[in-house]
Amino acid sequence: MAPVMSRRAALKGLIMTTTALALPGVVLGREYGRGAGVPWEPGAADIPYYGTRDEGFLTEAELTTVRAIAARIIPSDEDGPGAAEADVVTFIDRQLAGFYGRGQHWYMQGPFHEGLSTQGYQSEHPPAQLYRLALPELDTYCDAQYGSRFSSLSEANQDAVLTGLDEEEITFETVSAKTFFDLIVENTIEGFFADPIYGGNRDMIGWRYVGFPGARYDYRDFVGHNGARIDLPPVSLMGGPHWTRQ
């Protein structure tokens, strides 16, 4: 924290103490313009963080529970595939391992207070840590109530437990059960519908299920559809499945 303090101290005495005259471009990170035109570098495309097979955050036990929860939020049933076929758990695992799981872009300074419903996420734990603390508490509750961990319960009992979290009838000791539930619902929907580069929505199964054509960028031929179905196979940022699998 020392550099921050010295900067702050420097700020206070600013006007009186400014001295050295520096040359732009020498001391500065990056300056543009001055007749140089728009900068451009080859191969500089700013690709996303998507996680890889080697990266993960959750333990085997945690993966099992998350997989089971996601499978009840978006179930596999007679109407079509769900979080299991879309491999949502892999999506969540990779997200928790990255900047999102660490809450790196979120404001995570204290003090922490519970907050009102209009004030949003107020946990002192970033998403990955929230999962880590909530999952064992969930199993503790299930064990006390049903004599087994969440992933081993019947679907009906799993739904009853999740409803209890959603409706704030079940609470945890260390974290807000409702905050955890809302977050895992959000992450499951993300994993079902995000581009497959992130590990979920495998083979664009979520997009096929609802009829979303994916990462296309030109629908000019279809603007005048006048209420008729547009049946286009989906395309991912990686292309179509027929590009890689025969």
Partner 1 sequence: MVTRLPDVDVVLVGFGWTGAIMAQKLTDAGMEVLALERGPWRDTPTHFPTTFAQDELRYYWRHGMFQEASQETLTFRNNRSQMALPMRRWGSFLPGNGVGGSGVHWNGQTFRFLPSDFVARSHNEERYGPLPEDMTVQDYGVTYEELEPHFDYFEKICGISGEAGNVNGEIIAGGNPFEGQRSDHYPCPPLQMTFSQDRFAASARNLGLHPFPGPAANLSQAYTNPLGMQLAPCTYCGFCEKFGCGNYSKSSPQTTIIPALMRRNNFALRTNAEVLSIERTPDGAMATGVTYVDAQGELYFQPAGMVILCAYQLQNTRLMLLSGIGAPYDPQTGQGVVGKNYCYQVMSSVDVFFEEEYTNEFVGAGALGMVVDDYNGDNFDHSGLGFIGGGYIACWTTNARPIETHPVPEGVPTWGSAWKKSVRENFLKSTSVGLHGASMAHRSNYVDLDPTYKDRWGRPLLRMTYDFTLNDRRLTAHITPVVKDIARGMGGREIKVNNRRGSYDSMPYQTTHNTGGTIMGTSPADSVVNRYCQSWDVPNLFVTGAGLFPQNAGYNPTDTVAALAYWSADAIVNQYLRAEGPLVQP
Per CB under 8 A, which of residues 55..114 are in contact with partner 1? 72-75, 77, 79-80, 82, 99-100, 103-109, 111, 113
Q: Tell me which residues in 22-41 interact with partner 1 (CB under 8 A).
A: 22, 24, 27-41
How many CA atoms does the CB half-sphere of 14 hold within 13 Å?
4
Cis peptide before 111 (omega within 30 of 0): yes
Near partner 1 by CB under 8 A: residue from 54, 144, 147, 224: 224
- Pick 143 or 155: Cβ nearer partner 1: 155
Query: Could you tell me which of 194, 113, 177 has the C-alpha nearest to residue 142?
Result: 177
- Give strand pairing partners of 235: 214
Which residues, numbered 146-175, are part of the site for partner 1 (CB under 8 A)? 159, 162, 166
**53-61, 118-126, 134-142, 144-152 -> range binding partner 1 (CB under 8 A):** 118-126
The interface mask with partner 1, positions 124-143, x = CB under 8 A, is --------------------
What are the beta bridge partners of residue 80? 77
CB-CB contact of 90 with 199 (8 Å) = yes
Nearer to partner 1, 79 or 173 (CB): 79
198 contacts 238 by C-beta, under 8 angstroms: no
Does 233 sit near partner 1 (CB under 8 A)?
no
The nearest distance, CB 60 to partner 1, in angstroms, is: 25
What's the CA angle centered on 164, arms 162 and 167, to 5 degrees?
110
For residues 140 and 147, give the distance between their C-alpha atoms in angstroms, rounded to a whole number.
9
Query: How far is residue 164 CA from its own chain's centroid?
Result: 24
Judged by beta carbon, residue 16 or residue 144, the one nearer partner 1 is 16
Burial class of 164 by CB neighbour count within 10 A (0 to 12, 13 to 18, 19+)? middle
Given the complex with partner 1, which of 174 and 225 has the nearer CB atom?
Answer: 225
Residue with Cβ nearer partner 1 (44 or 144): 44
Near partner 1 by CB under 8 A: residue from 87, 142, 193, 202: 193
Q: For residues 195, 199, 205 and 208, what is the CA-based torsion angle, rounded to 10 degrees? A: 0
Q: Please give the single-letter amino acid code of residue 23.
A: L
- 4 lies in the site for partner 1, by CB under 8 A: yes
Q: Which is nearer to partner 1, 143 or 225 (CB)?
A: 225
Closest CB to partner 1 among residues 147, 224: 224
User: Counting contacts by CB under 8 A, is residue 243 touching partner 1?
Assistant: no
Decide if 152 contacts 145 (C-beta within 8 A): no
